[in-house]
Amino acid sequence: MKKSIILLIVFSLLSITISKAYSATIFIPDKIRVALLDDASDMILSVRGPYRIETIQTNELIDKGNTSFNVHITPSNNGITFGKKEFKIYAINIIPEHEPAIYLGKRLYKGSLQIVRTSKGKLRAINILNLEDYLKGVLYHEVSHRWPMEAIKAQAIVSRTFALYQAEQNKDKHYYLTSDVSSQVYGGVYAEKYRTNKAIQETKGKVLIYRKKILPAFFHATCGGRTEDVSMLWKLNLKPLKGIRCPYCANSPHFNWERKVKLTDIKEVLVKEGHKVSDLKSISIKGIDRSGRVKDIIIKANNKKLVLSAKDFRRIIGSTLIKSRNFEVQIKGEYAYFVGKGWGHGVGMCQWGAFTMAKKREKADDILKFYYPGARISRFSS
């Protein structure tokens, strides 16, 4: 018994040491910076209650008020037109005394709001807030708040990890993430729900680590039976993202899908993308990777032959139309018929697989260990 207690103490101390070592190598920003708008010609902003407006580099106070306001903001030749005022600087930071207080359009946000006049003469709005508050505005959009709690907790850890990875990658830029599907969908205060907030609180500080670095914790809706090797899509080669067989997402509504698309519609979007093709004659597959997904697409038209990566083809045609790269295609008359499996890029956690695992009473940590084999779940102190 005494020997067991000593071993337990040693193991606990070792675990603390490892956790601290991991935390020391993770970039943990004081705040998360999310672009809510970019390249905007104007915006409508409201702030509830007292506020101050500062410069973003020197934190110099340039305006303040004790009452709420609603203002139309536009870029000017010299800076930013703020209602009837003009600030002759390229960027301002609006800091409410209380939060949440910022309304951009019809959405309410916590934290502060930075407004930048870009080099293109447009406006960019960046929400600056705590990581955990950011996650509260994300989770509802990325997973159903009615799902099993362990699936929601798994998503909370993944979304936190992904946010920190993006922050590290973009730490020298004006913002770390966007508020749309190109990062994670972020909806501000109105996206907060009791169960998603609870999952965030119960996993506070938990992230996925690989080789003492934050893991790019990609995720997607449905893998269709096997997750993808990240190297097939991006310039990364990581053991936790090499792809695994997934037996859990067969009940997903996105496991099988079919689409019927007019050839003229495909031609139209290709031309908009800069590919000068005339009438399409055939669309065929060139190469299948280890996960069963398409590598490249060959398009033959009257005037040329075009080879596109399946990733680019899906982006051009539309990722909600062509749900994944796991498909077959056949031309019949004036239409292309696509039959496929899964929804999303396929890398990392399969959300519908996580749903099924949670229904089978698997814990969040076990779900993550399955989808990111070799990654470590660690906790940092903010």
Burial 87-104 (b: 16+ CB within 10 A, else e): bebbbbbbbbeebbbbbb
pLDDT given at position 132: 97
pLDDT given at position 304: 86
The ranges assigned to domains in the chain are 32-129, 133-247+346-379, 256-341
239 three-class SS: helix
Burial 276-291 (b: 16+ CB within 10 A, else e): ebeebeebeeeeebeb
CA 198 to CA 89: how far, in whole Å? 41
Q: CA angle 126-186-155, nearest 5°? A: 135
pLDDT given at position 57: 85
Taking only the tens place, the pLDDT of each residue in 195-247 is 999 999 999 999 999 999 999 999 999 999 999 999 999 999 999 999 999 99
Low-confidence ranges of the chain (pLDDT < 50): 1-24
| Rounded (10°) CA dihedral 353, 355, 360, 364 | 90
pTM for the whole thing?
0.90
Please tell me what DSSP assigns to residue 117.
E
Work out the angle between the directed axes of helices 263-272 and 310-317 (0-180°, nearest 10).
100
CA 311 to CA 229: how far, in whole Å? 13
CA 330 to CA 105: how far, in whole Å? 44
SS3 content of the chain, % helix, strand, coil (to 5): 30, 35, 40
- CA atoms within a 13 Å half-sphere pointing along the CA-CB vector of 254: 21
CA 21 to CA 148: how far, in whole Å? 33
